[in-house]
Structures are given as structure tokens and as C-alpha cells.
Chains A and B, each alone.
Chain A
Amino acid sequence: MDRFILGRYINGDSLVHKLDARDKLIISMYFIVIIFLANNWQTYSLLLVVVLGCVGLSRINLGFFLKGVSAMIWLIIFTVLLQVFFTSGGTVYWHWGILTLTHYGIVRGVYVFCRFVLIIFMSTLLTLTTSPLEISDGLESLMKPLKYVKVPVYEIALMLSIALRFVPTLMDETQKIMNAQRSRGVNFGQGKLIDQIKAVIPLLIPLFVSAINRAEDLAIAMEARGYHGGEGRSKYRQQIWHLQDTLALGLFAIVTVALLFLRTW
């Protein structure tokens, strides 16, 4: 789990940390949309500058983001190679069977690589600077309109925040049970496929049992503290939309206009 940077939160008080979670959610989703507007080197370098600017503002070590990329490096390499070798058009540099290396192919490959890296940087930035609780609060408030079509928004948000809260706990638990079974002679990830699958049982059953016990305890503890459901509850964590949130949105509006201006139609 050491390499698992995506989904981790680093406490800080930079400008990016202080932005409203709703704002950051909207921006990162919006960013994934506008990245498809980029189709030449000017637009990609503009986006790169914007993203690196955001990363710089967050005052988080660039190493974290590179780790996020390195976790997905095989997927990226695979896609880039597909693009590079199966795109036709432009000057042909090299040819072998169905594989062709063309000018267009190389350019497309580089673009796809940039797209991946930018998206990963942006979503890593979101999770690194926003605590899981803020994210689930933000999602709840963004999903509010869905209430009118009878979607149980509050319940979904509650489940989400409980789930997020218990991810590290369950990870610890998994590690603990794995160690315990290892000392009883189980070899995880070794031997034939069928043995490997069998080795999962002594891990999964205790994990499920403990999750069910945990759920029961939590439900009782919640009821004992007067929880009756979402109706008529007030909120402890208030989300306040500041001027800087609007400005951040404005920045991305400007970026969109610039992209539309710079892209080749």
C-alpha cells in the first residue's frame, strides 16, 4: 500500500486547501471535460502551466503527484503505445507488419500521455488537499438537486462518509489479519492459482465478520446518540462559498476561452 497516493489527504493551509470542496469538485470535473478541447501543443502547454500553477499553489511536494502517476504508469504506457503504433497518416518513419510508426502517431501518443498526466495531477490535487469528509459533504451539497427526482441524497452522502472513514481502518484490519494468518502458515500470493484463491478465504471471512460486527456497533452507537435519519438535522461543518472560490471558477472560465481560441478547429 506504500505506493498508494491517490485518495490520501495531506493537511495544509495553502490557498488550494482553503477552497471550498464543492468548488474543487466542480473544477476537477470541469477540467476533465475541457482537457478534451486541447488538440495542439499550445493548448497542452497552457493546461500544463495551469495545472503546475495549481500544484505550486497547494505547496505540496511534486513527488506526491509523480507517485500518483507512477501507480498508473503501465496503463499509460499501454495506451500511449497503442496510439503510437496504430495511428496512420503523416510521414511514415518505420513499418513492420501491422505496426507503423508515423509522425501523427508520435504526436498523438505525446498528447495522450499529457492528457493522462494532467488528469491524474488534477485529481490527485483534489484528494491531497481535500479531506474525505469535505469531499463527501461537497458531493452531498452538489447532489442536492437530485432530491427532486427522489434520490436519497442524504443517505448516499452518509454512506459515503462512513465508507471513507472506514477505508483506513479496514486496511489496517486487513493487514493485521493477513499477518495473523501468515504466522499460522498461510502464504499469500504464492503457489498455484487455486492455492492463492484458497488462501484468500482465511482473510475474507474474518474481514467480513469484523465489518458486520463493526457495522452493528456503529449503528447502535449512532442510535444511542439520537440519530433518527436525515430529516431535520442541522450541520456542524458549514460550507461557505468565498470570493476566492468564485475567482477560481473564473480562472477556469478564462482558461476555457483561451483553449477555444488556441485550439485548431
Chain B
Amino acid sequence: MSITFEKLSYTYQTGTPFEHHALQDISLTIADHSYTAIIGHTGSGKSTLLQHLNGLLKPTSGKLVVNGQMIDTKTKNKQLGDLRHEVGFVFQFPEAQLFEETVLKDISFGPKNLGKSETEALEIARQKAKLVNLPDDVLEKSPFELSGGQMRRVAIAGILAMQPNILVLDEPTAGLDPKGRIEMMEMFKQLYEKEKLTIILVTHNMNDVANYADNVIVLEQGRLLRQGVPTEIFSNPEWLNKHHLGLPQTTAFALKLQERGINLQELPLTEKKLAQKLAALLQREVK
């Protein structure tokens, strides 16, 4: 069970003068229970790629298989119900999707659409509210009374309430303060580790990629540029520079150290790794 793209292409507004090839010939595999980061310049087709995962867009040519279910040009909308259950999709600024009278009702909206009974749905909603660290006293409030960060948590809980196996996140931390950002990223990590979800994250933040992801997909102008583990992707600063991508802060700093003659062998991605390497180097020097 995994996600496989086979020669998938997508064109917006086919046959009109506004035609735009958003994705071209994408072939890739995302393993089950992996944490995949999709990076690329603005307009490289990241969001278009994501929207294929739960059938919001259907390929213009080629196909993809999500956990055994195939989606191609001919797939009908009616066949996509199960897929929506399988793939949870957190859009950019998901707080814009809240509409119910209370937080709890809003979270239970998804499961109710899947045919769960009122009590079951509310029970799920309560669990998921806890999972995203919402305090108990907000559950009966209107979602519009909450702060921006809390609204986003409610929205994410609403997605998790669909009990997906795959969680798709389109820049989930955009516009959050540093504390909120870290909390949210840690929350996704927990979901990944404890609930065994497959996570697909679109982000511009290379630090998040370095800290959390175990698989990186690089897109450029609708084409797949590269897929690999973060150490591989970030090991070649010139290549990244050429494709207008940045380095994680730690790696950039390590690169500067290396330029000054400190040999780190391979570039570390996280602060912890860098600190370990430096400590090892110092120890060797002491000896």
C-alpha cells in the first residue's frame, strides 16, 4: 500500500487560450508510513500535485494509485468517497473552512459526512480535539471566537476526524508565530510516530524539511526534478542554488565552517547532528 504516480500530467483549462501545463510526466512512489516533503519554487506545481491525492483533480493523462485505488482521467467522482476517507487534506490557511456553531460540531462534520452517528462523531471530535491540544473550555465555543492558531487546530482536528491514513499538509504553518509553528510541527511528528500516518508536507521552510522529513520530492515547472532522502538532496549546495532552493540554516552554517577549513565530511542537516560532529572533532583534537 503506497502512493504511486505513473506518468501523470495535468493541464489547467485544456483547449482554451488560458491553457497551462501544471504537471508533466510525473512518475514517483511515496512509501507507506513515510514523511515526505515536497519542495519547489512558487508555481512549480506542488499544490496541483497534492490535489490529485484525494481526487480533487483528475489527471489529464497518466494515472496514480493511492492505497490500491486507481485514479485516472476516467475516474468518476462517485468512486472517490473512500479516497476522501483515506486521504486527509489540510489546505493552506485551513481556518477558512470553519462554519459550524461550535468547535465540537465543526470537528464532527467530517465523520458525519462519512455516515457516523451523531454520538460517534462527537466522540471522535472530542478525541481529535485532545490530539491537537485544544483546551476543553473552547469545545463549546463558536470557532469564530478563537485565536488564529486555535482556529487552525480546530480545522486540522476536523481533518483528522476523518481518520485518514494519509495526511496531506499544504504549508500548515504559514502565518503562525514561532511558538505555534514549532508546536504544530511537533504535533505532526507525533501523529507520524504514534498514529503511523503517512505524511506529505508542502513547505518552503528547509529547516522543517531537514528536521522532520525522510523523503524529499523536488518539483520545478511542473516536472519532477529529484526524489531522495534529505541528506542526498541537501548534499549539493550548487545544485540547490541553481534551482533556486535554499539550504537548512544548520547546513548553511556548516557549509561556512567547511569553507574555513573545518572538515565535517558530509553536511549535517540538524543542529543536533552538527553539534555531535563538532564535539567529535574537538575530542579528536584534544587527543
Contacts and interface: CB of A to CB of B under 8 A. Distances in A.
Q: Do A and B come from one complex?
A: yes
A194 interface: no
B144 A209 contact: yes
Interface residues of B, number: 29
Interface string B1-38: 00000000000010011000000000000000000000
B209 interface: no
B97 A182 contact: no
A7 B88 CA distance: 36
A63 interface: yes
A64 interface: yes
A88 interface: no
B159 interface: yes
B96 A210 contact: yes
Contacts of B91: 176, 179-180, 183
Contacts of B159: 183-184
Interface string B26-67: 000000000000000000000000010010100000000000
A63 B16 CA distance: 9
Given A180-B91, A180-B96, A206-B97, A186 B17 contact: no
A185 B84 CA distance: 7
Nearest to A179: B56
Contacts of A187: 77
Interface of A is mostly: helix
A205 to B, nearest CB: 4
Contact of B84 (A2, A176, A182, A210): A182
B249 to A, nearest CB: 31
B184 interface: no
Interface in B79-95: 81, 84-85, 87-89, 91-92, 94
B262 interface: no
B188 interface: no
B239 interface: no
B110 interface: yes
A190 interface: yes
B268 interface: no
Given A176-B91, A186-B113, A209-B144, A181 B97 contact: yes
B225 to A, nearest CB: 26
Interface string A175-200: 01101111111110010000000000
Interface string B138-158: 000000100000000000001
B114 interface: yes
A59 B17 CA distance: 14
A181 B89 CA distance: 10
B162 interface: yes
Interface in A88-123: none
Contacts of B162: 183-185
Interface string A1-18: 010000000000000000
A169 interface: no
Nearest to B161: A184
Contact of B77 (A2, A67, A190, A202): A190
A238 interface: no
B96 A173 contact: yes
A2 B109 contact: no
A180 B17 contact: no
B103 interface: no
Given A182-B56, A183-B56, A183-B89, A206 B99 contact: yes
Contacts of B247: none
Interface in A58-80: 61, 63-64, 67
A53 to B, nearest CB: 22
A66 to B, nearest CB: 11
A200 to B, nearest CB: 11
A247 interface: no
A201 interface: yes
Interface of B: 13, 16-17, 51, 54, 56, 77-78, 81, 84-85, 87-89, 91-92, 94, 96-99, 109-110, 113-114, 144, 158-159, 162
Given A176-B92, A179-B56, A202-B109, 13 more contacts: A2-B16, A63-B17, A176-B96, A179-B91, A183-B54, A183-B84, A183-B162, A184-B158, A185-B110, A185-B113, A185-B114, A190-B78, A201-B99
19 contacts: A61-B17, A64-B17, A176-B92, A176-B96, A179-B51, A180-B97, A183-B56, A183-B84, A183-B159, A184-B159, A184-B162, A185-B109, A185-B110, A185-B113, A185-B162, A202-B109, A205-B99, A206-B98, A210-B96
Interface of A: 2, 61, 63-64, 67, 173, 176-177, 179-187, 190, 201-202, 205-206, 209-210
